Amino acid sequence: MNFKSHIFFLFFIFSACQNNNQYDHNYLNNKYGVYISKLDNEEVSVQLANGLKPIALKDNIDAIGFANTAGSIALKQNFPNKNAFLVQKLLDKGFFIQGKTNLSEWANFRSTSSTSGWSSMGGQTLNPYGLNRNPCGSSSGSAVAVALGMVDVAIGTETNGSISCPSSVNGVVGIKPTVGLVSRSGIIPISNTQDTAGPMALTVQKAAKVLEVIAGIDADDIATTKIPSGMNLSFSKNLDKNAISGKRFGLLSAGNDDEDGRMLHSKMKKIIESLGGKLIVFEDERTYPGKDEFFVLKYEFRQGLESYLGSRDLKFKTLKDLIDFNEINKDVVQKHFDQSIFIMSDSTQGLTREYEKSLDVVLKSRQGIDKILKDYNLDALVGLSRGPAWEVNYNGGDRSAISKQKSWSTGSFAAMAGYPNIIIPLGLVNSLPVGMSFIGTAWSDKKLIDYAYAFEQENNFLPRPKFLKNPR
């Protein structure tokens, strides 16, 4: 090695220690369980040399050349012959798929005692801020890939919290759009009522640029036909630093009974007021219809999944087929948690009247959000997206672990209503990121993105992973 080469090598090592974007990405992938499948470095280099832009996909989205597994070894041979609608739109705009990211198996809809970020295909995704902490799910790998700088943008999916939670606890921006803004065609489903895909990135602008690409009408997804005529889909254009001025934001109360939560609320208030907005404390009288929502999800999961399986050249055609497979392969598939939700979902066959009653309750959540916005003359709701990441726990899963941690969460009503939720980093609690949410009515995505952008610019907070073994 000559002198110049030696100096360059030392510079590279130094840079790798100082800048997360310079780390060896293969090492990061292996260490943090980010990808289930990935292009090799040579192929990535070729794509970059051709001027294409890398993006990562959650491994429940169809992309030619990659198995679409939902994190389950049952689907390791599920190679689609057609790209998901959103994937084709990305490819048409100069992106290439760098890889498929790990997720909570079956998008966290297999067991009531599941551990987020674990799948039988990809193992456990780790939170780079606290190596003993959960990355949250189900879009775990997508959020961590962005947090580590492996890609600028990744695509996640959400039914109830699967973009908002991993974005919050991994310190990245997440956009959970209005249901129908982004096509679900070619995505392994949970709920036709609540499912959506959305981008995750380090900045609002980067996430908004990708949302521009993937949004739009798809004849194969009837929900997209409800996009209002003339809706502004130029989400990254004319981002307004003054968007918060003169606006009124209702504070969702989660976290206000905790010292750290109150500290973050105070920071939120200070920044909003410095930008000319007002933070309004209001009486939130809504009750969360969790039982009805869960029934809707169970019912729609079986219906949607069996429709997806039936369109593929797979030996599994029904949910019962998968249940049987999981029992046969119990040592691998169920080594950390069971398949109780699968079994419950399979038992919903024929319960049409019960489904319709529960769906009616769920859809009324839209009226609840709209009523608050109207009654208090609010432009949007804001709140803490999620508490800091909890410890990974295979003995009782997330429910047991979260019960011992701060359980702030504001996004469930937005998810249930199908309304947009924009998540941005707000601050740190014990060295762990906490995000804040901007939530609004249907199709208010552009306004919320502008609010989030304005807040982001003023807050000027871009957390970077510290790889702590046990943050306190």
Burial, 216: exposed, middle or buried (Cβ in 10 Å; 0-12, 13-18, 19+)? middle
pLDDT score for 144: 98
3-state secondary structure 307-349: HHHHCCCCCCCCHHHHHHHHHHCHHHHCCCCCCHHHHHHHCCC
First to last CA, the chain: 44
In angstroms, the CA 407 to CA 221 distance is 34
Most confident among 4-18, 21-35, 241-255 (mean pLDDT)? 241-255
pLDDT value at 399 more than 80: yes
Query: Is 400 one of the annotated active-site residues of the chain?
Result: no
pLDDT score for 27: 75
pLDDT value at 286 more than 60: yes
Overall average pLDDT of the 244-258 stretch:
95
Among the ranges given (87-96, 403-412, 429-438), the one the predictor scored with the smallest mean pLDDT:
403-412
Overall average pLDDT of the 117-125 stretch:
97
3-state secondary structure of 79: coil
pLDDT score for 24: 74
pLDDT score for 317: 97
pLDDT class for 8, splitting at 50, 70, 90? very low
Query: Is 162 one of the annotated active-site residues of the chain?
Result: yes
pLDDT score for 445: 98
Handedness of CA 371, 372, 378, 384 (dihedral sign): negative
Single-letter code of the amino acid located at 442: A
Overall average pLDDT of the 91-106 stretch:
98
* Catalytic residue selected from 37, 116, 162, 365: 162
pLDDT tens-digit readout, 367-386: 999 999 999 999 999 999 99
Contact 121, 102 (CB under 8 A): yes
pTM across the whole model: 0.94
pLDDT class for 9, splitting at 50, 70, 90? very low
Burial, 430: exposed, middle or buried (Cβ in 10 Å; 0-12, 13-18, 19+)? middle
Query: Is 116 one of the annotated active-site residues of the chain?
Result: no
CATH class in words for 23-459: alpha beta
pLDDT value at 16 more than 50: no
Percent of the chain scoring above 90 in pLDDT: 89
Return mean pLDDT, the chain.
93
pLDDT score for 17: 35
pLDDT value at 72 more than 90: yes
Contact 138, 107 (CB under 8 A): yes
Contact 154, 199 (CB under 8 A): yes
Percent of the chain scoring above 70 in pLDDT: 95
Q: What are phi and psi of 89, to 5 degrees?
A: -65, -40
* Catalytic residue selected from 38, 58, 206, 247: 58
pLDDT value at 205 more than 50: yes
Give the CA angle between residues 79, 82, 84 to the nearest 5°: 100
Higher-pLDDT residue of 92 and 29 is 92
Q: What is the DSSP string of 225-281?
A: GGSPTT----TTTT--TTTTTT-EEEEP-TTTTSHHHHHHHHHHHHHHHHTT-EEEE
Overall average pLDDT of the 64-70 stretch:
98
Overall average pLDDT of the 447-463 stretch:
97
Among the ranges given (23-32, 52-61, 86-95, 126-135), the one the predictor scored with the smallest mean pLDDT:
23-32
Single-letter code of the amino acid located at 215: A
pLDDT score for 23: 64
* Catalytic residue selected from 138, 345, 409, 437: 138
Overall average pLDDT of the 299-324 stretch:
97
pLDDT value at 5 more than 80: no
Overall average pLDDT of the 206-214 stretch:
98
pLDDT tens-digit readout, 137-167: 999 999 999 999 999 999 999 999 999 999 9
pLDDT class for 110, splitting at 50, 70, 90? very high
pLDDT score for 405: 75
Contact 38, 98 (CB under 8 A): yes
pLDDT score for 319: 98
pLDDT class for 7, splitting at 50, 70, 90? very low
